[in-house]
Amino acid sequence: MKTLRLGLVAAFAVAATAVYAEPQKITFSVFEPPQAFGPTLVYGPWADDISAASGGTLDIEMLAGGQLGKPAAQLDLVENGVADMALVIPSFTPGRFAGNEIAELPFLWDDPSVAGAAISKLIADGDLAYPGVKVLGVAVTGPYQVHASKSVESLDDMRGLRLRAAGPIFASATQALGAVPVGMPAPSVAENISRGLIDGTLQDWTLVNAFRIIDATPYHFDYSLGGVISLIVMNQSVYDGLPDDAKAALDTFGGASFARRWGDELKRQADMVIEKVKADPEQEAVFPDAAETARWDEKVKPVVEAWSAQSPDNQTLLEKFQAALAQAAAD
Structure confidence at residue 15 (pLDDT):
39
pLDDT digits (tens, 9 = 90+) for 233-264: 999 999 999 999 999 999 999 999 999 999 99
CATH number for 29: 3.40.190.170
Q: Is residue 90 domain-resident? A: yes
* Predicted confidence (pLDDT) at residue 10 exceeds the cutoff of 70: no
> Cα separations (Å) of 132 from 13, 43, 216?
36, 22, 41
Assigned domain for 276 exists: yes
Residue 228 pLDDT greater than 60, yes or no:
yes
How many domains, the chain? 1
Instruction: Tell me whether residue 208 is in a domain.
Output: no
Q: Please indicate, yes or no, if residue 259 is contained in any of the structural domains.
A: yes
Output the pLDDT for position 39.
Answer: 97
Percent of the chain with pLDDT over 70: 94
Give dist(CA 40, CA 36) in Å, integer: 6
Please indicate, yes or no, if residue 118 is contained in any of the structural domains: yes
Label the pairing between strands 145-148 and 219-221: antiparallel
> 244 lies in which domain range?
23-141+228-331
pLDDT tens for each residue of 20-38: 568 999 999 999 999 999 9
pLDDT at res. 175: 98
Across all residues in the chain, what is the average pLDDT? 93
* Residue 261 to residues 45, 80, 140, 221, Cα–Cα distance (Å): 11, 29, 11, 26
Task: Name 182's bridge partners.
Answer: 164
Stretch 285-310: mean pLDDT: 98
What's the pTM value of the predicted model, to 2 decimals?
Answer: 0.91
Specify the pLDDT at position 3. Answer: 45
Whether 219 maps to a domain, the answer reads no
Residue 188 lies in a domain: no
Count CB atoms within 10 A of the CB of residue 297.
15
- pLDDT tens readout for residues 98-121: 999 999 999 999 999 999 999 999
Q: At what angle do helices 244-253 and 44-53 cross, to 10 degrees?
A: 140
Mean pLDDT value across residues 294-318:
98
Whether residue 312 has pLDDT greater than 80 = yes
Q: Is 308 part of a structural domain of the chain?
A: yes
What are the contacts of 212-215 at 24+ separation with CB within 8 A?
Answer: 213/147, 213/186, 213/189, 214/147, 214/273, 214/277, 214/283, 215/190
